[in-house]
Amino acid sequence: MTNILIALVVLLVIVSLVQLTRVSELLAELKKEDVNEVTDNDNKTQGLLYLVVGMGFIIFVIWQMVEWNHLILPPAASIHGAEIDVLMKFTMTLILVVFFIVTPMLFYFAYKYRGNKNNTAYFFAHDNKLELIWTIIPTVVLTGVIIFGLKTWDRAMNVDTSDAKVIEVYSEQFKWTARSSGQDNKLGESDFRLVTNTNALGVNMEDDNSLDDKLLREVHLVVGEPVLLKFRSRDVIHSAFLPHFRVQMNCVPGLITQFAFTPTKTTKQMKEEEGEDFEYVLLCNKICGSAHYNMQMSFIVETQAEYDAWIASKQTLSEKLLTQKQ
């Protein structure tokens, strides 16, 4: 009902404006005025309105920044995440500086140089110095931003994974399943042709490296220790997204993608900072179907001792296989 009333009000306002315009035109015809002629007074009125709208727009942008700034990015909890945040803040600061210089000038100049019958046009055909300034300065600034971004990207993506804990994250509509490597830190081979009701990940149990792998419904990580996540998909393209770790990677059917990072804050520390309801959550950041919103998996960052106790309680694939046979 409320939406209908709002729509009616908007419609009435539009009709009223149309009628007022028509009345204005009729009055001009009665006075034998040319309704199509734009006077200096018209230009001044329109210029002032444009200036007011422009200032209102700038105030609105400032309000949005103050009100919603805390929602742009959650606190970073990985080594490369802190570097990405520095790049983000640097880029946004640069953009905002340019915005708050250029935008007020655009609105002000539109008012200052409005149409006036007493003014004559000044034709400014060419100026080498001016063209050099507005070409060289943006080029230098953008080159610096690109180099900064490429170096940050290189440090985030080209990580030494020789000592990283290897964990496979398997996506399907609409859930995640993880497989942790065993003592050898090597995942066993997998093949989609081996997928069955009892082998959802298609793990090749004839591969010795598969025997000590462990299937997980939640992932535990050791704070300060590197981890290598390998992503696979069973059906459609998903996008693995861990916002606090600044990790996002597409999960593509038939292709293994990966992302390595080092967590810097335990779940307990984040609860102290963000509240008891906090948890690291793996999300799907690509609309993959009707239950896309519910595709989540918990990640827990803890100390080495806590991790060792937890992982020891989990059965290996070979142990599960023996249990099923019994």
Predicted confidence at residue 15, as pLDDT, reads 85
Predicted confidence at residue 97, as pLDDT, reads 93
* Beta bridge partner(s), residue 242: 247
Tell me the mean pLDDT in the region 108-130: 82
Q: Establish if 114 belongs to a structural domain.
A: no
What pTM did the predictor assign?
0.77
List the CATH number of the domain containing 284: 2.60.40.420
Work out how many domains the chain is built from and give that number. Answer: 1
Predicted confidence at residue 33, as pLDDT, reads 61
Which residues form the domain of 237? 165-316
Q: Establish if 324 belongs to a structural domain.
A: no
Question: What is the average pLDDT score of the chain?
Answer: 87
Q: Establish if 202 belongs to a structural domain.
A: yes
Measured CA to CA, the distance from residue 81 to residue 270 in angstroms comes to 15
- Would you say residue 167 has pLDDT above 90? yes
- Would you say residue 274 has pLDDT above 80? yes
Measured CA to CA, the distance from residue 300 to residue 157 in angstroms comes to 23
Q: Establish if 109 belongs to a structural domain.
A: no
Q: Establish if 3 belongs to a structural domain.
A: no
Q: Establish if 239 belongs to a structural domain.
A: yes
Q: Establish if 155 belongs to a structural domain.
A: no
Q: Establish if 144 belongs to a structural domain.
A: no
Strands (E), the chain: 165-172, 175-180, 214-216, 219-222, 227-233, 238-242, 247-251, 257-261, 280-284, 296-302
